[in-house]
Amino acid sequence: MAMVITAGKYSAATFEYAARVSFSYVKRGSQTFKFGVKKVTSPAIRVVSSPFIYFKKKITKPLSQEGQHGDVVSKVVSKNEEKIRMLEEKIVLIENKLAFLEKHGVTVSTTKNLMREKKNLTKEKSMLLQAIVNDNLTLKA
Amino acid sequence: METRKVLNIGIDLGTSRSVIACDNGVRTHMSSYVGYPKDAVSSKMFGKEIIFGDDVLKNRMALDMYRPFDRGVLLHSDSPDENREEYEKAKNVAKELLKQLISNATAGEPENLIFRGVIGAPSLASTNNKKDLLDIADGILDDVMIVSEPFTVAYGLNIYTNALIIDIGAGTTDLCRMHGTIPTEEDQITTFKAGDHIDRVFLDLIQKSYGEANFTVNMIKKFKEENAFVSSQGEKIFIDLPVNGKPTQHDVTEELSKACKSIVPEMVEGVKKLIASFDPEFQDGLKQNVILAGGGSQIIGLQKEIERYMKDTLGYGKVSRVEEPLFAGANGALLLCKDMPDEYWDQLKNKK
């Protein structure tokens, strides 16, 4: 009965020892592999990523110089708000004008504006208008 | 260099109704009545010193009422020295009327506009009559021209030749033949049988038929404007007139028809004169193109009635009516004002 117990103790120690050796081999082996891979891939990664690093620096520099990204955003937003406000004011003016026209029961003219403009008249019409002017000049004489 | 903007205005200062058309898109009209509160009570009631248009008729018991134009021209314009005070009063009233008319049409416009206006005058308005119109516009319009009313109608329709325009207003009926040039005195006729004449005849006929009824010329005028006709066919027309204070219905079909027809013979006589004295080669053109304008042209059946008279006296005639009788004169005046080149306006300005 005692022999069986002793033999059992040796068997367990042997198994434990074998496991530790195996673990040691795996660990050492993986460390060797990791070192080799790192040695090979690191330069390649550095070379491949160098353009992205360049762009990153270029883009982030102005923002970092401004110091606050929020300022730039708020500037863009406020500029749009100003435009919207101006458009709203114009709409209010147009609405007022339309309300006035509706109130007075009038029709909307096709005339674009009231600015003085060059009048394209036929010779006959010019003469007709000149005759009217002459009549009025006589009237004022 | 001129930088101010110009507002062109066409104006028809009528005996009964004044019409304005501007190139800001506004067209409007008002009755040619001006009223001043009679006393402190009425002044307090109105809250203003001058009342215009239909409000004057509605409140005439509390107002001193004025109609500054008669027979198409300013009151006493032909004899100012005989009625100096009334003439000056009429001129001031007309100025207020014009100011109000322009104010109605230009409310909301910038203050620094140049107001350029063309004002229509009756066909045979005298030099004095036209000068009065210039005086009335002085200080209200920056630049102004006076043009024969029927000519402005023709100009607005773009018809310069082979046409005979009949502009029926309240005070005058103006006839004008168009033959490609500015109409001269020989091309125009003015008769005084117009809207006011119809009112007077209608009033007389009702008084004869219904002596017991109480009514005023204003009641008759309003009724006529809504129901005027000369057609022999159609429904009976009744008017409610008070008899001893009680509104009573009266059949006035015959009276109204007779009153409206009363302006036709003289009008056709004018047409006949203008056609008969025209070059025979072109007489047919005039007969085929008689155009009615003005508030009076809205009388139902008037076209047919004139055609019938023309057939009897001239062989045949074709009469048409403008689309907007009331605005035809002012529209044409506006168009003329807009077409007038700046240098032409400058010629007038330099003459001042």
Segment B49-88, tens digit of pLDDT: 999 998 998 898 999 999 999 888 888 888 888 888 889 9
A49 and A17 co-located in one domain:
yes
With contacts defined as CB-CB under 8 Å, which chain B residues touch A126? 341
Locus of tokens 């074998």: A18
Q: Which of A107, A111, A126 sits opposite B27 (nearest CB)?
A: A107
Count of beta carbons in the 10 Å neighbourhood of residue B289:
19
**pLDDT for the residue A63:** 56
Identify the residue among A109, A114, A122 best suited for mutation to test binding to B, counting B beta carbons within 10 A and taking the highest.
A114
Interface contact A139, partner B, CB < 8 A = yes
User: Does residue A137 come out as left (phi exceeding 0), alpha (psi in the -120 to 50 range) or beta?
Assistant: alpha
Residue A113 lies in a domain: no
Residue A44 lies in a domain: yes
Interface contact A131, partner B, CB < 8 A = yes
Residue of B nearest to A105 (CA): B28
A54 and A97 co-located in one domain:
no
Can you tell me the distance from the alpha carbon of B56 to that of B7, in angstroms, rounded to the nearest whole number?
29
Amino acid at B303: Q
**pLDDT for the residue B166:** 95
Interface contact A114, partner B, CB < 8 A = yes
Structure token digits, residue A121: 């008249």
User: Does residue A111 come out as left (phi exceeding 0), alpha (psi in the -120 to 50 range) or beta?
Assistant: beta
With contacts defined as CB-CB under 8 Å, which chain A residues touch B182? 128, 131-132, 135
A39 and A49 co-located in one domain:
yes
A11 and A45 co-located in one domain:
yes
Amino acid at B67: R
Mean pLDDT of A92-102: 80
Identify which has the larger pLDDT, B117 or A6: B117
Query: Does domain B195-261 bear CATH number 3.30.420.40?
Result: yes
Identify the residue among B54, B346, B347 best suited for mutation to test binding to A, counting A beta carbons within 10 A and taking the highest.
B347
Can you tell me the distance from the alpha carbon of A112 to that of A107, in angstroms, rounded to the nearest whole number?
14
Locus of tokens 């509160």: B37
- Give the structural domain span for A50: 1-66
Cβ of B182 within 8 Å of Cβ of A135? The answer is yes
Residue A76 lies in a domain: yes
With contacts defined as CB-CB under 8 Å, which chain A residues touch B127? 139
Q: Which CATH number fits domain B6-155+327-347: 2.60.120.620, 2.40.50.100, 3.30.420.40, 3.40.50.300?
A: 3.30.420.40
Q: Which of B27, B107, B344 sits opposite A129 (nearest CB)?
A: B344
Residue A47 lies in a domain: yes
Can you tell me the distance from the alpha carbon of B114 to that of B41, in angstroms, rounded to the nearest whole number?
39
Mean pLDDT of A60-66: 58
Interface contact A25, partner B, CB < 8 A = no
Question: Residue B25's closest CA among B351, B338, B346, B349?
Answer: B338
**pLDDT for the residue A114:** 42
Interface contact A137, partner B, CB < 8 A = yes
Beta-strand runs (E) in chain B: 6-13, 17-22, 27-31, 34-37, 51-52, 63-66, 69-70, 73-74, 114-121, 143-148, 161-168, 173-179, 188-191, 238-243, 246-251, 290-293, 319-321
Count of beta carbons in the 10 Å neighbourhood of residue B171:
22
**A68 confidence band (pLDDT: 50, 70, 90):** low
Residue of B nearest to A133 (CA): B344
Q: Which of A111, A116, A136 sits opposite B146 (nearest CB)?
A: A136
Asked if the domains B6-155+327-347 and B195-261 are classified in one and the same CATH topology, the answer is yes
Q: What is the DSSP pairing of strand B161-168 with strand B173-179?
A: antiparallel
With contacts defined as CB-CB under 8 Å, which chain A residues touch B347? 133, 137
Locus of tokens 């066409």: B10
Residue A127 lies in a domain: no
Structure token digits, residue B289: 């193109």
A60 and A79 co-located in one domain:
no
- Distances, alpha carbon B282 to alpha carbons A104, A121, B163, B241, B276, in Å: 45, 27, 10, 50, 10
A36 and A90 co-located in one domain:
no
Cβ of B342 within 8 Å of Cβ of A133? The answer is no
Count of beta carbons in the 10 Å neighbourhood of residue B272:
15
How far does the CA of residue A108 sit from the closest CA of chain B (Å)?
A: 5
**pLDDT for the residue A110:** 42
Are B327 and B20 a contacting pair, CB within 8 Å?
no
With contacts defined as CB-CB under 8 Å, which chain B residues touch A113? 5
Radius of gyration over alpha carbons of chain A, in Å? 47
Structure token digits, residue B210: 């219904």
Angle in degrees, 0-180, between the axes of helices B342-351 and A123-140, rounded to the nearest 10: 10
Cβ of A132 within 8 Å of Cβ of B339? The answer is no
**pLDDT for the residue B108:** 77
Least confident stretch, A68-72, A119-123, B212-216: A68-72
**Could you state, in order of their start, the residue ranges of all structural domains in chain B?**
6-155+327-347, 195-261
pLDDT at A82 over 60: yes
Residue A62 lies in a domain: yes
| pTM given for the model | 0.71
Cβ of B28 within 8 Å of Cβ of A105? The answer is yes
Structure token digits, residue B197: 């004449």
Locus of tokens 């006296």: B313
pLDDT at A1 over 50: no
In chain B, which stretches have pLDDT less than 50?
A: 1-2
How far does the CA of residue A83 sit from the closest CA of chain B (Å)?
A: 25
Identify the residue among A95, A125, A128, A134 best suited for mutation to test binding to B, counting B beta carbons within 10 A and taking the highest.
A128
Q: Where are the alpha helices (DSSP H) in B69-178?
A: 84-106, 127-137, 149-157
Are B235 and B246 a contacting pair, CB within 8 Å?
no
Q: Is B31 exposed, middle or buried (0-12, 13-18, 19+ CB in 10 A)?
A: middle
Are A135 and B127 a contacting pair, CB within 8 Å?
no
A51 and A33 co-located in one domain:
yes
- Chains A & B: contacts with CB separation below 8 Å: 86
**pLDDT for the residue A57:** 77
A52 and A3 co-located in one domain:
yes
Number of domains in chain A: 2
Q: Exposed e or buried b for every residue in B313-325, given b needs 16+ CB within 10 A?
A: ebeebebebbeeb
How far does the CA of residue B179 sit from the closest CA of chain A (Å)?
A: 12
How far does the CA of residue B209 sit from the closest CA of chain A (Å)?
A: 40
Can you tell me the distance from the alpha carbon of B232 to that of B308, in angstroms, rounded to the nearest whole number?
12
Are B72 and B172 a contacting pair, CB within 8 Å?
yes
With contacts defined as CB-CB under 8 Å, which chain B residues touch A137? 347-348, 351
Interface contact A92, partner B, CB < 8 A = no
Cβ of B181 within 8 Å of Cβ of A111? The answer is no
Q: What's the angle, vertex CA B14, arms to CA B34 and CA B227, rounded to 5? A: 95
